[in-house]
Amino acid sequence: DDEGTGSAHAKFILLGEHAVVYGRPAIGMPLPRMWVRAVARVTDGPLLLETDIYTGPLAEAPASFDAVGAAIRNALVHFGQPESHVEVCVHGDVPIGRGLGSSAAVAHAIVEAIRELFGGTLDDDERFELVQSAERVAHGNPSGLDARATRAPAPILFEQGAVTSLDVAFGGVFVIADTGIRGSTKIAVGDVAAYGVANPERSAALLDQLEQLTRDAAVDLAGDRRKELGGRMSRAHAILTELGAGHESITRLVDAAVGAGALGAKLTGGGQGGCVVALVASSADAAGVVDALTAAGAVNCWVVTAAGQRP
């Protein structure tokens, strides 16, 4: 065919971000209503990009597109087309740098579009590796959680590379709120590492606590224990802040959500900006929390079930 298309969705992390970089478990949740879509075509000119932020030759794209370039070039090499010239269009509504997996979703969409363009095949592990190679450019030392969670249709428990689909019968509702501030996962991961070097014992104890909170959260999800899960989310937030992933914009939103009746709230993803996730007992409680988050400065809110759907 003369055109290939690919897509992937956003994700949020319920529990375990940062700890997952140290081999601890984490829970990734699907956000199937937020999409990235890529279209790839063969051209005779140089490699070309068309996105909402930059359109032009890939070689002249800003440094923030390095991971996009890696995804394109590695996919071309993988499908035996290192000399082929392609134009790749990427569009979507996943906000960038807000901890919702935009970089992994973009890489997935590009890899799939190029695969389809050249009629190649990919098994799950090959696909994962191509996305991870782009994530390494974006993040330095990615755990692989985002690369898995942006394709998984259901909540997953991710531990040391292995993925377990979680059987979820959870009635609580999640409110995700965007601080509007871009956080760099790479810098946040580096800051948490620096905290660990300076405070090795404290850091290990905090990572142990995050691990236990994550394991208990998986049981909460399966057993529909909303209040317990909310408490664990708030405890995880305090720990993540102590580890260095916090930011005043996040604290403001977490406090506003809890003040408006949320059962718990935390940063989600890399932190230092980005998004928070709050848990409310039912969709009837969501509107008040959305109002409080908006009043506290959130630029966008999404209300979703554990499956990422509208409640």
Q: Which residues of the shown chain bind ligand MEV in the complex (CB under 6 A)?
A: 13, 17-18, 20-21, 99, 139, 142-143, 145-146, 185, 189, 269-270
Q: How far is the CB of 59 from ligand MEV (least distance, A)?
A: 28
The conformational region for residue 256 under phi > 0 = left, psi -120 to 50 = alpha, else beta, is: alpha
Q: Name the strand (E) or helix (H) holding 245.
A: none
Which of 97, 18, 63, 31 lies closest to 273 in space, CA to CA? 97
| Residue 250 host element (H or E) | helix 248-259
In whole angstroms, the minimum distance from the beta carbon of 192 to ligand MEV comes to 8
| Least separation in angstroms between CB 7 and ligand MEV | 19
Residue appearing with tokens 């370039």: 69
DSSP 133-202: HHHHHHHSS--SHHHHHTT-SS-EEEETTEEEE-------EEEEEE-S----HHHHHHHHHHHHHHSHHH
Distance between CA atoms of 90 and 6, rounded to whole angstroms?
A: 9
| Shortest Å, Cβ 27 to ligand MEV | 11
Closest to ligand MEV by CB, 23 vs 57, is 23
3-state helix, strand and coil shares in percent for the chain, rounded to the nearest 5: 45, 25, 30
Cβ nearer to ligand MEV, comparing 40 with 278: 278
Nearest CB to ligand MEV, comparing residues 17 and 112? 17
Strands 48-51 and 86-92: parallel
Nearer to ligand MEV, 61 or 105 (CB): 105
What's the closest the beta carbon of residue 34 comes to ligand MEV, in angstroms? 14
Q: Which CB sits closer to ligand MEV, 4 or 30?
A: 30
Instruction: Give the count of alpha carbons within 13 A of 127, CB side only.
Output: 27
Q: Which is nearer to ligand MEV, 114 or 240 (CB)?
A: 240
Closest separation between CB of residue 297 and ligand MEV, Å?
A: 22
Q: Which residue's Cβ lies closest to ligand MEV?
A: 143
